[in-house]
């Protein structure tokens, strides 16, 4: 979509008045990190009230995740360090989300097994995120590891975690993530390995026709 995804466009509207102010993209990234950690802490408590509050804070954190990048682009203040900081915060917060809901569901039907499930999901999602970044660098053509559709980025699914919490559906989400997270990581690792091999063959003049990922 021209101009970015819907979430980027919405964030752009809010940060445009901040261009040229003392508020920098790194400030917004820090707020994203703190709000994300606060949301995870709320989910880890496991009560209905905390899930409701944590869902709202999670939405704010997700919006800030878009806002810092948009402010950097509009203000032409993008930097390698800022990108690395933003990326590290994203990986940490998104991975901790699953660990947190696993802790919060410890008094449910699966008992403390949900903590292990949350850890498996969080580690899988985090590894997939790191390897996706390496995959995009290996391709070096500006394409994303996982493309979105209809004006939505692949990682916009994170916004859905708030309504899932409000509806009381965190338990099925955890089960799906505990299975899907590690699979997602394995698939991404496989694609990364193929891309690295392809680049190596091209560099040595031994490139062979391959089907697209």
Q: Decide if 125 contacts 157 (C-beta within 8 A).
A: no
Q: How much is the pLDDT for 98?
A: 98
Q: How much is the pLDDT for 13?
A: 87
Q: CA-CA distance, 211 to 195, in Å (whole number)?
A: 11
Q: CA-CA distance, 154 to 24, in Å (whole number)?
A: 26
Q: How much is the pLDDT for 3?
A: 57
Q: How much is the pLDDT for 10?
A: 86
Which pair of structure tokens corresponds to residue 39? Answer: 């949301």
Residue 52: Cβ within 10 Å count:
14
Q: How much is the pLDDT for 197?
A: 86
Q: How much is the pLDDT for 85?
A: 94
**Percent of the chain beyond pLDDT 70?**
92
Regarding pTM above 0.85, the answer is yes
Q: CA-CA distance, 71 to 170, in Å (whole number)?
A: 32
Domains of the chain: 6-203 (1.20.120.1760)
Residue ranges for the chain with pLDDT beneath 70: 1-4, 142, 205-213
């Amino acid at each position: 979509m021209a101009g970015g995804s819907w979430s980027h466009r919405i964030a752009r509207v809010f940060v445009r008045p901040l261009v040229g102010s003392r508020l920098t993209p790194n400030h917004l990234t820090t707020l994203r990190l703190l709000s994300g950690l606060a949301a995870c802490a709320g989910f880890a408590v496991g009560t209905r009230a905390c899930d409701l509050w944590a869902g709202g804070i999670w939405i704010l954190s997700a919006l800030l995740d878009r806002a810092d990048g948009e402010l950097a682009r509009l203000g032409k203040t993008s930097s390698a360090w800022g990108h690395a900081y933003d990326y590290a915060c994203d990986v940490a917060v998104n991975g901790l989300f699953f660990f947190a809901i696993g802790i919060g569901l410890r008094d449910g039907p699966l008992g403390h097994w949900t903590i292990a499930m949350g850890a498996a999901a969080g580690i899988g999602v985090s590894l997939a995120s790191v390897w996706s970044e390496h995959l995009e660098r290996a391709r070096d053509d500006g394409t994303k590891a996982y493309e979105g559709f209809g004006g939505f980025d692949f990682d916009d699914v994170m916004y859905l975690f708030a309504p899932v919490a409000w509806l009381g559906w965190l338990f099925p989400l955890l089960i799906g993530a505990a299975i899907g997270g590690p699979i997602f990581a394995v698939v991404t690792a496989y694609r990364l390995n193929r891309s690295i091999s392809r680049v190596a063959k091209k560099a040595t003049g031994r490139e062979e026709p391959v089907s697209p990922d």
